[in-house]
Amino acid sequence: MNSPIAAPRDRMSDVSISDQIETFLRKRQSQIMIINLIITAVFSLLMFDVRLSFATDDSTYIDTAWNFLHHGTYPNFHGALYPIFLTFMLWITGGTHLLLFKSCGIVFLVLHNYFFYRALRGRIPYTLLFAALFVGAINAYILAYGSATFSEALYLMVQALAIWAFTSLTDKLENPETTLSNSLKNWILFGLAFFVLSLAKNVAIFSFMGTLVHFGLKKQWKYIIIAIIFFAGIKVPFEIMLKLTQKRPPETQLDQLLRKDYYDPKSPKEDLDGYMDRFYVNYGNYVSVHIFKMLGFRGKGIPQVWTFDKMKEIQDPELKMEPSFFYSALWLGLIILTLYQSFRHNHYILYLTLHTGALLGVTFFALQGFWNQDRLMVVVLPLMVITMLYGIYALAYNKQYDFMKRIVLGICILMLLIETGTTVQAMKQNKAFKGLLKQDKFYAYDPQISSYLHVCDWVSKNYTDTAKIMCSRPVEAGVFGGFGRFSRMPKDIPQTSSPDTLISFLRSKKINYMIIDQGFQGPAQIYEFLQKAAPNRMEILYADESEAPAAFIKLK
């Protein structure tokens, strides 16, 4: 099924520039890989962002880890692996060290590139392999999420490990003398790797499904059964243990995804037409916008991970990119060509295509269209380089289409040049990097956010009461002010003109304090009401004296 990675030539004078580069990459792969890892680390540092994104999810991972450590609540809403890792970090450091947590993302990105290389070296064309690896090293979007407390960097690393486990297993199975007993180690590592990957993201279980389709296409039916046994042999007992020891939350992430309105518990379940609409909308946004934008072929956008900037990028008519039929059709055509050519020539790339397609397919059907987040595509971006270009590259296995390899080489060089330019521009605009140098955790926030976080930080050092503090962003407040003490404004707060009724209600919720700030409504509205109706029922315990002052208030 496999053809040579690079077709040999009889005479050096006949060897094209693309074949010469392929040979150079193969011979110098170790040195090039060292350079790649150094660039990944250096570029990650230069793109480092000290800030929380205020997208809530990044803070929620830390909050979930805190609850797991202190209350034993298993993090089963999002993928559990990253909160479990943060739980370990909280345990060994004894507190929330945001810069340390963020720095781990750089390590994950470096390890991702190393494991990705080990998984595919000698198995796919080195031109495509190193193009994907240098995308992982210099792509501004990947690097930006490397310093965020999101799960993408960890997922990339674990995904590379899973691919390595699979390619090592299939290599072993290619040997006609292989038996179950002498391949047992490979099967165990395969099952364990894909189990861990399924913990990294809930949808990643479909990556395992991709391995089954791969075995099916090769008519290796017994390997489908063996793969299920080794994966389920770890996954099923683990899930049973969780079911027996953990209480099911009121609603899971799956419950929210299955309904029409993600945020409305009373919303009906999505119907077939709704899922088809989701797929159509998500396909257009994620494929024709985000993938081509991140690879440098659409727009000149600089990644905005920080949420307030991100919302401008998504919503501003002058910045927002609309789905393109041309790019949607181009991507689909490239993937179909790669599926055909990899089925004929390279089963490793066949698996990578199935793996990527499974993740994208379930994502497009599962997510409500309003999410539209490029970080969901970050985890497949290096794979996209290979799966989009291999079909063209493989045409050159027919000598009359040898020029196709030169086209692919040109595309790779152009892509890397564009991405390098974009990343250098992003580095110049990255004011938050100075916060890392100054070790200033408040650096580069908007004044109103900075003031809010300064108050939360003051609370962490001066507040010992066990009563809850009502605030606008309790999860972010927990990162700076300590978890377990902040709560969001209750949804059932009474509409009343009586200060006594309002304060009694808040105390029934064990809320005796609140933080007010200019950035968000909620507590500020209560403060304004009490200030007019009964100012003697409040006491300002601390006020930040900045451009956008926030304050810590005690209810009397």
pLDDT of residue 246: 81
- The confidence score (pLDDT) of residue 310 equals 61
Query: Among 378, 379, 433, 443, which residue's Cα sits nearest to residue 45?
Result: 433
**pLDDT at residue 305 in the model:** 63
Report the DSSP beta bridge partners of residue 552. 515, 542
Report the alpha-carbon distance of residue 383 to residue 372 in Å, rounded.
Answer: 20
Which pLDDT belongs to residue 500?
87
Distance CA 159, CA 481 (A): 34
Phi-psi domain of 410 (left: phi exceeds 0; alpha: psi -120 through 50; beta: other)? alpha
Count Cα atoms within 13 angstroms, Cβ side, for 475.
15
Buried residues in 344-380 as b, exposed as e (16+ CB within 10 A): ebbbbbbbbbbbbbbbbbbbbebbbeeebbbbbbbbb
Residue 514, token pair as written in the block: 């609140």
> In the chain, what's the furthest Cα-to-Cα distance?
93
* pLDDT at residue 249, as a whole number: 65
Residues contacting 75, CB < 8 A, separation 6+? 64, 65, 67, 68, 83, 84
What pTM was estimated for this model as a whole?
Answer: 0.91
Give the pLDDT of residue 13. Answer: 43
Ranges of residues in the chain whose predicted pLDDT is under 50: 1-4, 6-13
Task: Give the pLDDT confidence of 458-487 residue by residue, as tens digits.
Answer: 999 898 888 889 888 899 999 999 888 898
Helix (H) or strand (E) holding 486: strand 486-487
**Structural tokens at position 78:** 């999002």
What are the CA-CA distances from residue 350 to residues 3, 128, 340, 382, 385 (Å)?
Answer: 13, 14, 9, 15, 14
Tokens 């509205």 belong to residue? 525
Rounded CA-CA distance 69/319 in Å is: 42
Q: Are 113 and 40 in contact (CB under 8 A)?
A: yes
d(C-alpha 153, C-alpha 133), whole Å: 14
In tens, the pLDDT along 483-512 reads: 888 988 887 788 878 888 888 888 888 889
